[in-house]
Amino acid sequence: AKREGRGNFQFFSPAMNAATHEHLMLENRMWAALEQGGFEVHLQAQVELDTGRVIGAEALLRWHDPELGDIEPSRFIPIAEESGLILPLGDWVLARAMALLAEWQHEGLGGLRLAVNLSARQFGGGALLARLDQLLDQHPIDPSLLELEITETAAMRDPENTRALLRQLRARGFKLAIDDFGTGYSSLAYLKLFAIDRIKIDRGFVKDIEHDPNDAAIVGATIGLAHSLGLSVVAEGVETQYQRSFLRDKHSDEAQGYLFGRPMPAREFGDFVRAQAQP
């Protein structure tokens, strides 16, 4: 297409403007949503594979705009990242997560762990530790019940900074997980360099384990590697019984996916956990 001459540029230009325009429109609406309570956190269960018990949840952002309806994180998170809005938004998620953990303590769900996604910006910004300390003052919870998820790509942007920050976070007692494990370009060497607790095997590897022997081998080997480094493993995107028993046979510690439960509003999640506990 590049060779077809200058005319093409004029053809693509309005489309690019439309994309930029949509970007700005969504960004403006996100600022409004942040002020007006348009965001919500949904919770997806994480299940212990041996027992089937729900041991925690991942907090996932949801955005409902009065005119546009529900907008997917895959659409709004990149725009929030680019514009810097992810900082106040991510902060809101952290505060919400801490408040939920505190609520659970009063509702007899005290041992449940809650995992929160951190963007590279939040992670690299330097304000994270102080903010977490402040939130702990507000909500005196057991910090080991809060797990922070960072992607390999975010972790590897500035490995020295990551290393120092992870160590400080760990000293506070927070749990740390590498999200989307296996999708980054990074080497495995960082696993022993970084003070982390768990890896989350990306859904991309789990999806086809029934039919793709390579994916099955990768997942099996990854679990073995993690365990030999003293890390625990959560497998993401588990949708079928086959995947569940495969992962259990390979000794993945935990799993998360539609098979066990979809992300759901926080108030439903409490009932969901109680129902699981008493079948």
Q: Are 165 and 195 in contact (CB under 8 A)?
A: no
Binding track over 143-162 against Ca ion, x by CB under 5 A: ------x-------------
3 state SS of 252 = coil
Residue closer to Ca ion, measured from CB, 31 or 184: 184
Q: Which does 77 bind (CB under 5 to 8 A by kind): Ca ion, ligand C2E, none?
A: ligand C2E
Q: Which does 93 bind (CB under 5 to 8 A by kind): ligand C2E, Ca ion, none?
A: ligand C2E
Q: Computed over its alpha carbons, how large is the radius of gyration of the chain?
A: 20
Q: Which does 73 bind (CB under 5 to 8 A by kind): Ca ion, ligand C2E, none?
A: ligand C2E
Min CB(174)–ligand C2E separation in Å? 16
Give the largest Cα separation in the chain, rounded: 68
Q: Are 181 and 199 in contact (CB under 8 A)?
A: yes
Q: Are 232 and 253 in contact (CB under 8 A)?
A: yes
Q: Are 193 and 158 in contact (CB under 8 A)?
A: no
Binding site for ligand C2E (CB under 6 A): 44, 60-61, 72-74, 77, 90, 93, 117, 119, 179-180, 203, 237-239, 256-258, 263
Binding track over 198-237 against Ca ion, x by CB under 5 A: --------------------------------------x-
Rule CB under 5 A: say whether 254 interacts with Ca ion: no
CA angle (172, 178, 181) in 5-degree steps: 170
Min CB(155)–ligand C2E separation in Å? 13
Q: Are 155 and 115 in contact (CB under 8 A)?
A: no
Q: Which stretch binds Ca ion (CB under 5 A): 11-19, 120-128, 161-169, 176-184?
A: 176-184
- Residue 185 CA to residue 166 CA, distance in Å, equals 20
Q: Which does 119 bind (CB under 5 to 8 A by kind): Ca ion, ligand C2E, none?
A: ligand C2E
Q: Which does 152 bind (CB under 5 to 8 A by kind): Ca ion, ligand C2E, none?
A: none
The alpha-helical segments, DSSP class H, found in 107-189 are 120-124, 128-138, 152-156, 159-172
Rule CB under 5 A: say whether 117 interacts with Ca ion: yes
- Residue 153 CA to residue 217 CA, distance in Å, equals 23
Q: Which residues bind Ca ion (CB under 5 A)?
A: 117, 149, 179-180, 236
